[in-house]
Structure 1
Amino acid sequence: SQIDTTASIHGGTSALPFGIAPTGFTRLMQTEGEVAGAGAAAAAGIPFSLSTLGTTSIEDVRATNPHGRNWFQLYVMKDRDISYGLVERAAKAGFDTLFFTVDAPVAGNRMRDTRHGFSIPPQLTAKTILDAIPRPWWWYDFLTTPPLEFASLSSTGGTVGELLDSAMDPTINYKDLEVIREMWPGRISVKGVQNVEDARTLVDLGVDSLTLSNHGGRQLDRAPVPFHLLPEVRRAVGDDVEIIIDTGIMNGADIVAAIALGADFTLIGRAYLYGLMAGGRDGVDRTISILRSQIERTMKLLQVTSLGELGPEHVTQLTRFNRVSPSRRSLGQ
């Protein structure tokens, strides 16, 4: 009858075992963008993460969520001074965790973006205008709100692929992690871990947590599913390092399953953006409320009162969802 959903992560607590993931182009979804996300996170007592490619500045997120937990997701760029400057700004603004991101050294193929000519800032095309004619509220937002641009970066022209390829650096390595670690006063998590070997190496290097993520499948759509990778990583690194799952969470039961299989925390990206698109700040509040009720109901049905009581025995990974090793595949599979 009594459920405790409190989670401990990165030296602090969260009222729920999930936070809002860093998402790029957020104001493209709805004009409130990260302000809605940070405000909803503050009200719910959960962390909010800001992306390097966010559309609200570090300082404005801090102003929206001055007493809550703010996290910053960092891309290491070819121009290292840009990345170093973002680290310094986030530290000055009191962000307590940094995501050192390794899963986007170059842009993914993004064929749909190329086909539709998606760029930042967005360009008005004949198709865009035709789509918007019957939607006067869209025109009102477009004409009365600040231009859509990356708040933390000074140069944002071109398609998304062109931007990422010009900014990201495929030479990123462990030395870069060491430099950022020396600069950053808070906790640091490496985001984009996708194999056990890297997980072991990063733990040996002293990172505070591992974030298992395949970038939502939008960089390399055949990358490992983090939920399936989770048990292997937990066995490999032991219980002393925190693990976060960031990909594929669309229901509160997904969150409970991740915690049961060994994760300490989870992040929601797509679900958060769906709520934002549907109703701005109210939509994000509603997303959090739905996930909270799903988590509580799942825990009650499992007859556990706290996250610490969850274990692998509460999860069955159906065979059809498991990866089949090459040696066991047949021609009919």
Structure 2
Amino acid sequence: MASTRDWFESVAEAQRRAKRRLPKGVYLALVAGSEAGVTMNDNVAAFGELGFRPRVADLRTDRELATTVMGQDISFPVLISPTGVQAVDPDGEVAVARAAAAAGTAMGLSSFASKPVEEVATANDKLFFQSYWLGDRDAILARAERARAAGAKGLIITLDWVFDSRRDWGSPFIPETLDLKAMARYAPQVAVRPGYLLQWLRHGKLPDLGVPNLVGPGEEAPTFFGAYGQWMTSPLPTWEDLAWLRAEWGGPFMVKGITHPDDARRAVDIGATAISVSNHGGNNLDSTPATIRLLPAVADAVGDQIEILLDGGIRRGSDVVKALALGARAVMIGRAYLWGLAAGGEKGVSNVLAILRSGIEEALLGVGRSSIHQLGPEDLTIPAGFSPNFRKD
């Protein structure tokens, strides 16, 4: 259906509406990539290098999209990836959780989220809590146990980050807190996007840059940059650390940030339930290849020993189908749902999920498959040299 005031027909249209609505600095924070943005752009462009092999007769009319991820049944193979402080909408992660629940899928909640895990878990019981390796073992485990008590069904440990915040085009100004000085600096941007401010005022508040899930319930939350500084100065984890956390957690456990087959094998060795092939949306080491290029080698290395997800560059349902054909069980989306949230709140997120679901169904029909579980590399045309060669000399 064509786009209307209350409906957009593509993720690209959601992005355009988000850009029109958000102050410039807020929008730029959503589209930021490290350094020259080589990886960020390749995450999207690489999908265009993969083609389909359509079939035209004896096609089934039914479509099986359901699968399971970390013990949770989901209605289609798209999950919400954890993203930090969602200042694009007053309801933030709670709105996202409600939209995901309505679509029958799971949500990853960032430890840097703007809403407490207890509130988000009430909106979606298929919740995975994400943590960075921030602080000592006791602090990391305490955050995980708080999430478990709130109802989190799985733990995601994110490792794909080298603290590289340099942007060739310049980083947007993000204040430590919204004090008078920060508001004065943002005032010219907000003046030309009055709808953004009015929406927050109708909720009786301004965007909150605190991160409540890094402390106990009811304790004063650190600011985003305060937490970021602590993360940057925490000792880097070892595989022994990760094995300890996996054992202490004792439930479904995902390692997010895998790009190398050797790391995928190590995740299997420590007993992880799942891995996400991810480069932090292009915000990790720039010039890392797109995750879809890295997926085949990871899938070849660990096969069915562990659940494999892909995160990065998903903009269409056909992208999801390509990822599944190359070995992913499901995908996680980030910018796509944030643009939907900015464009239309909870309804905008639901809109994005509906676009992806219908796109998956259409692509399945085109390649002659009645189930996502039938997909394989034979459904694609893959150019020579598409994936990096990880063989050792």
User: TM exceeds 0.5?
Assistant: yes
Paired position in structure 1 for 2:36: none
Aligned residue for 2:254, secondary structure, equals strand
- Pair 1:36 & 2:95 matched: yes
The answer as to whether partners of 2:246 and 2:270 remain within 8 angstroms in 1 is no
Paired position in structure 2 for 1:84: 141
Paired position in structure 1 for 2:48: none
Paired position in structure 2 for 1:17: 77
Paired position in structure 2 for 1:171: 236
Aligned residue for 1:3, secondary structure, equals coil
The answer as to whether partners of 2:279 and 2:291 remain within 8 angstroms in 1 is yes
TM-score, normalized by length of structure 2?
0.76
CA separation of 1:251/1:119 partners in 2, compared to 1, >3 Å: closer, same or farther? same
Residues of 2 paired with 1:190 and 1:140: CA distance? Answer: 39
CA separation of 1:185/1:283 partners in 2, compared to 1, >3 Å: closer, same or farther? same
Paired position in structure 2 for 1:331: none
Residue 308 of structure 2 is aligned with which of 224, 243, 250? 243
1:90-149, CA deviations, whole angstroms, 9 ceiling, x for partnerless residues?
111221111111112x42224379743313434525441012224443333444226512
Paired position in structure 2 for 1:138: 196
Paired position in structure 2 for 1:328: none
CA separation of 1:146/1:139 partners in 2, compared to 1, >3 Å: closer, same or farther? closer
Greater displacement, 147-156 / 55-64: 147-156
Amino acid at match of 1:151: P
Deviation at 1:163, TM superposition (A): 4.5
CA separation of 1:182/1:324 partners in 2, compared to 1, >3 Å: closer, same or farther? closer
1:278-322, CA deviations, whole angstroms, 9 ceiling, x for partnerless residues?
000010010011101100000001110001111110122334855
CA separation of 1:113/1:56 partners in 2, compared to 1, >3 Å: closer, same or farther? farther
Residues of 1 paired with 2:171 and 2:311: CA distance? Answer: 28
Amino acid at match of 1:118: I
Residue 209 of structure 1 is aligned with which of 252, 263, 274? 274
Residues of 1 paired with 2:126 and 2:196: CA distance? Answer: 32
- Pair 1:53 & 2:109 matched: no
Amino acid at match of 2:296: P
1:65-106, CA deviations, whole angstroms, 9 ceiling, x for partnerless residues?
2xx3111111111344332221001111221111111112x4
Instruction: Count residues in correspondence.
Output: 320
Aligned residue for 1:31, secondary structure, equals coil
Q: Percent same amino acid at aligned positions?
A: 36
Aligned residue for 1:239, secondary structure, equals helix
CA separation of 1:175/1:323 partners in 2, compared to 1, >3 Å: closer, same or farther? closer
The answer as to whether partners of 1:20 and 1:269 remain within 8 angstroms in 2 is yes
- Pair 1:301 & 2:366 matched: yes
For CA contacts below 8 A with separation 6 or more, give which structure has more relative contact order.
2
Paired position in structure 2 for 1:256: 321
Aligned residue for 2:331, secondary structure, equals strand
Give the unaligned 5+ runs of structure 1. Answer: 326-333
- Pair 1:315 & 2:374 matched: no
Paired position in structure 1 for 2:52: none
Aligned residue for 1:238, secondary structure, equals helix
The answer as to whether partners of 2:213 and 2:221 remain within 8 angstroms in 1 is no
Residues of 2 paired with 1:316 and 1:91: CA distance? Answer: 43
- Pair 1:111 & 2:167 matched: yes
Aligned residue for 1:152, secondary structure, equals helix
Residues of 2 paired with 1:281 and 1:323: CA distance? Answer: 39
Residues of 2 paired with 1:313 and 1:72: CA distance? Answer: 35
**Pairwise mapping of residues 145-184 of structure 1 onto structure 2 (< 5 A)?**
145=205, 147-148=207-208, 149-153=210-214, 154=220, 156-157=222-223, 160=225, 163-168=227-232, 169-184=234-249
Aligned residue for 2:275, secondary structure, equals strand
Paired position in structure 2 for 1:186: 251
Q: Show structure 1 runs of 4+ deviating over 4 A.
A: 112-115, 319-325
Paired position in structure 2 for 1:218: 283
Amino acid at match of 1:10: M
Paired position in structure 2 for 1:200: 265
Give the unaligned 5+ runs of structure 2. Answer: 1-60, 215-219
Amino acid at match of 1:72: F
Amino acid at match of 2:212: A
Deviation at 1:245, TM superposition (A): 0.5
Residues of 1 paired with 2:388 and 2:246: CA distance? Answer: 35
The answer as to whether partners of 2:259 and 2:278 remain within 8 angstroms in 1 is yes
Aligned residue for 2:305, secondary structure, equals coil
Amino acid at match of 1:222: S
